[in-house]
Amino acid sequence: MERFLDPGIVDWVSANVLPFEAELRERLWRVCRSGAEVDDVVQEVYCRILKLEGVDQIREPRGYVMRMAKNIIIDQFRHDAVVEIEAVANLDELEVEDPEPGPERVALARAELKWVLGLISNLPDRCKQVFRARRIYGLSQSATAATLGLTENVVEKETMRGMAILSDAIARVGVPAGAGAAPAAAPLPSIRRKRHV
């Protein structure tokens, strides 16, 4: 007995696949030999999606459909006795840039975060407490003052002091390539203000 189509998947296809079917067809024209072949690939994409148990795991529908179409064409190439070299060369037309950051970008971001946290850890104690509460935990000025038992005026001054120290360190050293290259515990300069007498 044939399984009935899941209405949730049908709705998902309507909302997430139909809007860019024209783009899919345009890309397929660069790979396929005829309009009939384009239609066959599009129909096979829809059939495969509609047969899925669920679509919750699909985070990027456009990229998923393009990859599925590419896989269908590759399967056809495997079964064909003769394959046009131009069609194989044009398979890249079905590539979609992945919106998720790659492993290199994730590693770089982690190194940058570690470097910044190292700079923050070298701030003077009260300044560090205020800076963490305001900039890392996102507390308001009044909430920071209440939490740390300080006045709002002191919180404002310590936040500005922290920003000035960090800005000075970044201006002096810059953000190192890979951001992990600078020692995390490098001493930061203290800000000396002239006292007006």
| Residues 88 and 109 grouped into a single domain | no
- In sign, the C-alpha dihedral spanning 149, 155, 157, 158 is positive
| Residues 16 and 87 grouped into a single domain | yes
pTM comes to 0.44
| Residues 86 and 108 grouped into a single domain | no
Instruction: Give the rounded percent of residues in the chain with a pLDDT score beyond 70.
Output: 74
Instruction: Give the range of the structural domain holding residue 79, as residue numbers without chain letter.
Output: 7-94
d(CA 121, CA 93): 48
| Residues 89 and 15 grouped into a single domain | yes
Residue 21 lies in a domain: yes
Give me the pLDDT at residue 152, please. Answer: 92
The CATH number linked to 163 is: 1.10.10.10
- Among residues 30, 62, 94, which one ends one of the domains? 94
159 near 134, Cβ under 8 Å?
yes
Give me the pLDDT at residue 125, please. Answer: 92
